[in-house]
Amino acid sequence: MSLDLDIQYVKGVGPKRAKLFKKLGIDTVKDLIFYFPRDYEDRSEIVKIEDLIVGEKQTFKAYIAGSAREVKTSRVVITKIPVKDGTGAVELVWYNQPYMKNNFKIGEEYIISGKLQFKYGQLVVENPVLEKSEEDLNLNTGRIVPVYGLTEGLTQNILRKVIFNALSEYLDEVEEFFEEEFLREKGLMNLKEALLNIHFPKDEEKLARAKYRLKYQELFLLQLALFLVKKSVKEKRGIRFRKVDIKPFVSNLPFKLTSAQMKVLKEIILDMASDKVMNRLIQGDVGSGKTIVAAFAMYIAAKNGYQVAMMAPTEILAKQHYKTLEEIFKGTDIRIGLLSGSLSPSGRKEVLKKIEKGEYDVVVGTHALIEEDVSFKNLGLCITDEQHRFGVRQRALLAQKGENPDVLVMTATPIPRTLALILYGDLDISIIDQLPPGRKRVKTYVIPSSMRKKAYEFAIKEVKKGRQVYVVCPLIEESDKIKAASAEIVYREIYKDAFKEARVGLLHGKMSDSDKERIMEAFVRGEIDILVSTTVIEVGVNVPNATVMIVENAERFGLAQLHQLRGRVGRSEFQSYCILINYSPSETAKKRLEVLARTSDGFKIAEEDLTIRGPGEFLGEKQHGLPEFKIANLFEDIDILKRVQKDVESLLEEDPKLERHPKLRQVLISEFYDRVKDIILN
Ligand code: ADP
Ligand code: MG
């Protein structure tokens, strides 16, 4: 099919340019047509020269009114060309582009875009964008102009021309896959028109409708694929775990499960007892006690003769889980192994052998678990902790180490349902919405930077009582542009003056893993009193003796991220404190931070963040596992996503196998083959 034609055969490309296009990820005609502009410039309004406004970017039509003049100084060659339109005159100016003087013929008419300035005692446009005026075919001026992501050797003009050529020749071959009636009902522009207008919009309204159609389609296909995968997984036969006697396990626990933990545990037990594969996400705020719930599931699997793998995003966390589980399973016969990246080659070999022989019932590890040479005897349950740090693929890779094992993923990031359906649309969701009793609420204060010193004095007092302190900073290095407190600066400061009495450690993302670990372990052992760090400590670390968290430049963090950070303290019987230092004078910033002082409910905080700053913030920049979109944006297109989810749900209700939507089914197979092949192909 010619949509799959190699890009080099498109008019205006050729083998040499094709290489450059390939750098942009454009291999075929189809890729080219779906290479959407990253922005637009409105050059549609053509202004008379007499109406041009100095200082503004505008577009006008004018003819070359005289020959080029050159001014040479020791450093620069200035080329000037006069143009006129009958209402006035302007000079076009280029610097160090002497060849420009040969490019123009007197009398030729051009459409010219650029910023009008008053310079050299006259009206000039420097480095204008211009194009011969040819009535129907102006791609760079006189219209809303697309702006594409480029690579060296390609220009906007080349991309516009080539994409225009591709559209002229091949657009007809793009097929609409929504039914006519569906388009009408949902008010969607048809695909061809949308593709044409996304590149070369007729007007603002058409552009908006084209964007809507393409975003809708992108979200729709992904959501549909996810729901179909979920349905197929539900139909897939998995392990039916027998009921086991949990007394030896429970009698060992120092506490009773909360009712929220019980509720979620029951859901898990039902899943495990059924012959369908479990694919469940446990969402629970920091400290809500997800680990123990996971441990129950481990116990059931192990007692059924299966192995369990638990994957954590960092070495520190994996080790911590390993220790916790050893404690929890004391008095039972569960054998636990740890597979971490820091094992010696021979140590690693040893562990791998034991995993393969089934001599471990539970194996805790990092990404090391999904490496190729790890194989299990009979993996029956996979658990991923802090799922938001992993991608969907990694979760799948772990599960592939067994034969349809049950899968449990855990996250402390509270995600509203709409987003959860696209991030975890293939999972069932359980929520632990309650903290264990007796937890002291972390006292949270928002203070202006002028009170910073007081905060540190307070921290020192706590250190003298034997407690430990976290100081979190947004950046690691000094930067002129951003005046945020960097971990390194704060570290030096604390180190040299206020806190001679305390032992201070520094931890940041640019340190090697082993250095990070060394510092973290020293903190865990209580050999460091004040740990200054970037957000690398955000995930799951447990140091109950730490009771103070100071966050520098708190205004730079998302609320949910701050909430996660705060979860590092308040893990013991001691009263804990979270001090948010706000450097922003803005009232909104202060208000936003005060949400944290008011509530400790992660979901509420997430929703506040959603309304105040949009959904990007609580996911944070570093989130993995987010699907990549060509045009849709989860942070802006929440409303479209909501509509899409309703539409997908009702479509699947009416036509669960897409029998009445053959073209849609076809597209889904070609776009999401790997994920949906099992479902719709047979
Ligand atoms: P998270 O959900 O953040 O992973 P953890 O599983 O690490 O939380 O649990 C936090 C702490 O709470 C642990 O020290 C754990 O032993 C304790 N804990 C868990 N469940 C209970 C409970 N029902 N009662 C009392 N303490 C609990
Ligand atoms: Mg945890």
What angle separates helix 587-598 from helix 559-566, to the nearest 10 degrees?
40
CA-CA distance, 394 to 283, in Å (whole number)?
Answer: 19
pLDDT value at position 422? Answer: 78
Residue having the nearest C-alpha atom to atom 9 of ligand 1: 289
Q: What is the mean pLDDT of residues 191-206?
A: 95
Residue 320 Cα to ligand 2 middle (Å): 10
pLDDT above 60: residue 526 = yes
pLDDT of residue 137: 63
Least distant ligand from the CA of 388:
2
CB of 253 sitting under 6 A from ligand 1: no
If 0-12 CB within 10 Å is exposed, 13-18 middle and 19+ buried, where does residue 575 land? middle
Mean local confidence (pLDDT), 140-161: 86
What's the CA-to-centroid distance between 291 and ligand 1, angstroms? 7
pLDDT in tens, 639-676: 899 999 999 999 999 998 899 999 999 888 887 766 55
Query: How far is CA 463 from each of CA 457, 467, 530, rounded to the nearest angstrom?
Result: 10, 5, 8
Does residue 286's CB lie within 6 angstroms of at least one atom of ligand 1? yes
Dist. CA 226–CA 425, nearest whole Å:
5
Q: For residue range 586-618, what is the model confidence (pLDDT) as tens digits? A: 888 888 899 999 988 887 787 677 666 554 444
User: With the CA atoms of 489, 494, 497 and 501 taken in that order, what torsion angle do they form, in degrees rounded to the nearest 10?
Assistant: -160
**Which of residues 388 and 473 earns the better pLDDT score?**
473
CA gap 580, 452 in Å, rounded = 10
Q: Stretch 351-374: mean pLDDT, rounded?
A: 95
Contact 25, 31 (CB under 8 A): yes
Least confident of 6-20, 322-336, 498-512, 516-530: 498-512
pLDDT class of 14 with cuts at 50, 70, 90: very high
| pLDDT for residue 300 | 96
Distance 233 CA to ligand 2 centre (A): 26
Across the range 42-66, mean pLDDT stands at 88
Q: Is 323 in the pocket of ligand 1 (CB under 6 A)?
A: no
Q: Whose CA is nearest to atom 10 of ligand 1?
A: 287
The arithmetic mean of pLDDT across residues 428-451, rounded, is 88
pLDDT at 187 over 50: yes
Q: Give the mutation target among 255, 261, 317 for probing the ligand 1 site: most ligand atoms within 8 A of CB.
A: 255
Straight-line distance from the first to the last Cα atom of the chain, in angstroms, rounded to the nearest whole number: 25
Q: Do residues 275 and 304 touch, judged by C-beta distance below 8 A?
A: no
* Ligand 2 centroid from CA 285, angstroms: 9
Token duo for residue 459: 């921290």
Cβ neighbours, 10 Å, residue 18: 16
The answer to whether the CB of 292 is under 6 A from ligand 1 is yes
Is 255 touching ligand 1 by the criterion CB < 6 Å?
yes
Dihedral angle over CA of 39, 44, 46, 52, nearest 10: -30
Q: Which residues of 430-464 are buried (b: 16+ CB within 10 A; e: fewer)?
A: bbbbebeeeeeebebbbbebeebeebbebbbebbe
What is the percentage of the chain residues whose pLDDT exceeds 90? Answer: 49
Q: Return the residue whose CA atom lies nearest to atom 18 of ligand 1.
A: 289
Kindly provide the residue ranges of all beta strands, DSSP E only, lying in 127-201, ordered along the sequence. Answer: 129-132, 144-147
What is the position in ligand 1's atom list of the atom closest to the CA of 288?
A: 2
**Is the pLDDT higher at 488 or at 539?**
488
Q: Which residue has the higher pLDDT, 663 or 422?
A: 663
Q: What is the pLDDT of residue 510?
A: 78
pLDDT tens, position by position, 232-243: 777 778 899 999
**Residue 626: per-residue pLDDT:** 53
Ligand 1, atom 24: closest residue by C-alpha: 436
Q: How far is the CA of 550 from the centre of ligand 2 (A)?
A: 21
Q: Check pocket membership of 564 for ligand 1, CB cut-off 6 A.
A: no
Give pLDDT, residue 596.
Answer: 92
Average predicted confidence (pLDDT) for the chain: 86
CA torsion angle 620 624 630 635 (round to 10): -20
Query: How far is Cα 11 from Cα 17, in angstroms, rounded to an integer?
Result: 11
Q: Is 436 in the pocket of ligand 1 (CB under 6 A)?
A: yes
- Is the CB–ligand 1 distance for residue 388 below 6 Å? no
Name the pLDDT band for 117 (thresholds 50, 70, 90): very high
Counting residues of the chain whose pLDDT is more than 70, the rounded percentage is 90
What integer pLDDT is reported at residue 681 of this predicted model?
37
pLDDT tens-digit profile of 450-502?
888 889 889 989 999 999 999 998 865 555 455 556 767 777 776 666 557 78
* Ligand with minimal distance to 258 CA: 1
Give the span between the Cα atoms of 543 and 526, in whole angstroms: 9
Of the listed ranges 250-264, 413-427, 454-468, 516-530, the least confidently predicted one is: 413-427
**What pLDDT is attached to residue 389?**
67
- CA 287 / ligand 1 centre spacing (Å): 5
How many A from CA of 332 to the centre of ligand 1? Answer: 20
pLDDT (tens digit per residue) in 225-271: 888 877 777 777 889 999 998 888 888 888 999 999 999 999 999 99
Q: Is 258 in the pocket of ligand 1 (CB under 6 A)?
A: yes
In 3D space, the residue among 652, 654, 667, 642 whose CA is nearest the CA of residue 229 turns out to be 652
CB 439 less than 6 A from any atom of ligand 1: no
Kindly state if the Cβ of 321 falls inside 6 Å of ligand 1: no
More confident position, 549 or 433:
549
Query: How many angstroms does the Cα of residue 284 sit away from the middle of ligand 2?
Result: 9
Give 93-104 pLDDT, tens digit per residue: 999 988 888 888
Kindly report, residue by residue over 61-113, the tens digit of the pLDDT.
Answer: 899 999 999 988 888 999 999 999 989 999 999 999 888 888 888 988 888 88
